[in-house]
Amino acid sequence: MTYDFAIIRHLRKRLGLTIFGLSEKCGVSYVALSKLERNLGNPELKTLDKIARALSLETHNLLALAEHERPQIIETSENINDLQGLAGLVGRLADFDNIKIMHGRAPRGAKAVALHQHRDEYEICLVISGRLQLHIRDSVYDIGPGQAVRFDCIFDHFYEAVEDVAFIHVLVAKRG
């Protein structure tokens, strides 16, 4: 796994620290910090512990930031297998590791039923234009332009387009 420790520079600057100030605060030489911020070197865990404490972070959080600092760009697809029965649905799907995002449009009267329960996910739906109804358990929720709904996917549910609708649909893993 590759880490981008340039995040240390970003974090120290956000705290208003110079490299010399961080060096003093954590007890790691400014030369070692400079190399680390430029991704030159392979730090020991005890060094990362010292730096993380000086930045008011847990070491695992510093590592997570270093791992995810760079944006991940993927190609979207027209594969919208998570929904069925939505005649006329058009959209694009971005499928990241722990999150799926779909931008879609559907005509009035279309119904979307989840192919399966997403027991380990939360679902979010943001309506851009038009109206959707969410049927979940024994309740119906009307969602209009500029409104969003979030719920646990363990519950059986389906959507119905009350009007022609444009929406953003997101599935987020409960655990990373």
Q: Do domains 7-68 and 83-173 have the same CATH topology?
A: no
Do residues 175 and 118 touch, judged by C-beta distance below 8 A? Answer: no
Q: How many angstroms separate the Cα of 143 from the Cα of each of 58, 133, 140?
A: 40, 6, 10
Question: What does the pLDDT read at residue 82?
Answer: 47
Q: Please name the CATH architecture into which domain 7-68 falls.
A: Orthogonal Bundle (1.10)
* Domain residue ranges of the chain, discontinuous segments joined by +: 7-68, 83-173
pLDDT score of 100 more than 50? yes
Question: What does the pLDDT read at residue 80?
Answer: 57
Residue whose C-alpha is closest to residue 106's, from 126, 91, 93: 91
Q: How many angstroms separate the Cα of 162 from the Cα of each of 90, 132, 148?
A: 17, 5, 15
Output the CATH code of domain 83-173.
Answer: 2.60.120.10
pLDDT in tens, 150-163: 998 888 888 899 99
pTM exceeding 0.85: no
CB neighbour class for 56 (10 Å; exposed up to 12, middle 13-18, buried from 19): exposed
Do residues 122 and 150 touch, judged by C-beta distance below 8 A? Answer: yes
Structure tokens belonging to residue 55: 């930045």
Beta bridge partners of 22: none
**What mean pLDDT value characterizes the chain?**
86
The rounded Cα 129 to chain-centroid distance in angstroms is 23
Structure tokens belonging to residue 63: 């590592």
